[in-house]
Structure 1
């Protein structure tokens, strides 16, 4: 594994910069969800994972309360992840169509999955200072994954916050609008593609369908050149 990335992930796991988030993930891990009552929750910040030679990066806003916060891996152990990995498997981006836990044998091909915020915020609404605190980790992930050509942002909030970080880091104004499947050129020559979030609500109401997400990742894979 990339040594710098490995060191960064150790730092992320130990991070307690945001007391509100530290307390919230502790609360979730103690109270648990009924169906997971006998499980031991991860209960710490959740790092990214995948191929350190990634050409494609997939980003969400934050780990799910009973998904990543429970399993210790982004988009793992929840319905959003179930929907996502069916598509990634179909397009040969992952070796299996599910992501249940950290030891399930999942392998990503030239792809890295992470969240902008490494801890789940109450009500899925992070405070501005929490996003600022965590943005340094996301910037370093981008810096260490030098081969990334394409970023797919899952959901408008992840898309907007990715742009916010880029605007601040590059001191440049970008008036990109969230539109599923559209591609935007970022100042470091990466391509940013917004995608409707594969949440149960969006899936159940038809905001996003398997065909839509498959087409988007087919495009992302082609642009990533792998």
Structure 2
């Protein structure tokens, strides 16, 4: 029995069983997001996200940090999911929205806008007016981790949220862009458990990786696209450039039916 569990009672937010118990009971993404933000199942992450909110960067002293789990972002009927790593300490953990308020988010949203999947090229705050077209941002871990490195245990505890999010997107989900090796390794077991047939040996992550999965029980094809994570290090060293990012999303958008192959530029 976990430390905060009491026989006959539902797991509390600080119980490691909380995500698994609550996620599967959510009827829609709104309900799921409301449960995600209550979660306190990983003590190390709770401590870190709250410490960061107190020891703010000088540039953000006037901010009231979100300092809670960051839910997914994007429409409930998205045909394309973007799976990253975890919120940034002074990005999503500050603003309360995925890939918002940090250089990684700036780079990602600029790329989405360039291929017509975002309403504007910037993401500065949760109320900046940004909307995504047919795209849902998700993460294997919903709390900012120290050094951007969640533990395997934290990843596994958080996994039910990602599984429920993808399930609630339903059969309309046709493609997933995975940003980085951590997201790739976290996502594959979720897809296998949901009924997607993974090739053997399991596909390895790489920028430009392309995998087509077939599903069971009414699931159609799902296309996976590997992309380097838009971290400052990857961008500053040139490992990931904006044209590279745009190319991945252009192909993924076409696979998801959101864009004609070869089309470039924002859409109205």
Instruction: Give the shorter-chain TM-score range.
Output: over 0.9
Distance in 2 (CA, whole Å) between partners of 1:187 and 1:215 is 24
Which of 120, 132, 135 aligns to 2:156? It is 132
Instruction: Give 1:161's match in structure 2, choosing from 182, 186, 189.
Output: 186
Query: Which residue, 226, 230, 238 being the options, matches 1:194?
Result: 226
Q: Is the deviation greater in 175-184 or in 77-86? A: 175-184
Equivalent residue for 1:222? 254
Moved more, 61-70 or 159-168: 159-168
Give the corresponding residue for 2:55.
Answer: 31
Q: Once superposed, what is the RMSD of the aligned Cα atoms?
A: 1.7
Show structure 2 runs of 5+ residues with no match. 1-25, 216-220, 259-268
SS in 2 for 1:186: strand
Spell out the pairing of 1:1-226 with structure 2 (5 A cutoff).
Answer: 4-146=28-170, 147-167=172-192, 170=195, 174-188=201-215, 189-226=221-258
Q: CA deviation at 1:43?
A: 0.4
Shift of 1:141: 0.3
- In our comparison, the structure showing a higher alpha carbon Rg is 2
How far apart, CA to CA, are the structure 2 residues paired with 1:53 and 1:102?
20
Give the distance between the partners of 1:186 and 1:26, measured in 2 at CA.
39
Structure having the larger proportion of residues in helix? 1
Q: CA deviation at 1:174?
A: 4.8
Q: Please say which of residues 157-166 and 95-104 is displaced more in the overlay.
A: 157-166
- Measure the CA separation in 2 of the matches of 1:8 and 1:70: 21
Question: Measured at CA, do residues 129 and 187 of structure 1 come closer, stay the same or move farther in structure 2, by a change above 3 Å?
Answer: farther
Secondary structure at 1:32's aligned position in 2? coil
Q: Comparing both chains, which one has the higher relative contact order based on Cα–Cα distances under 8 Å and sequence gaps of 6 or more? A: 1
Distance 1:140 1:186 in 2: 19
Gapped regions of structure 1 (runs ≥ 5): none
For residues 152 and 193 of structure 2, what CA distance do their matches in structure 1 show? 13
Distance 1:13 1:142 in 2: 17
TM-score by length of 1: 0.94
- Higher mean displacement: 119-128 or 137-146: 119-128
The alpha-carbon deviation at position 158 of structure 1 amounts to: 1.1
Cα distance between partner residues in 1 of 2:212 and 2:242: 26
TM-score, length-normalised on structure 2?
0.80
Contact 1:167 1:174 survives alignment (8 Å): no
SS at match of 1:49: coil
CA distance in 1 between counterparts of 2:131 and 2:173 reads 17
Aligned residue in 1 for 2:21: none
> Between Structure 1 and Structure 2, how many residues are aligned?
225
Q: Pick which of 25-34 and 168-177 moved more.
A: 168-177
CA pair 121-157 structure 1, distance change in 2 beyond 3 A: same
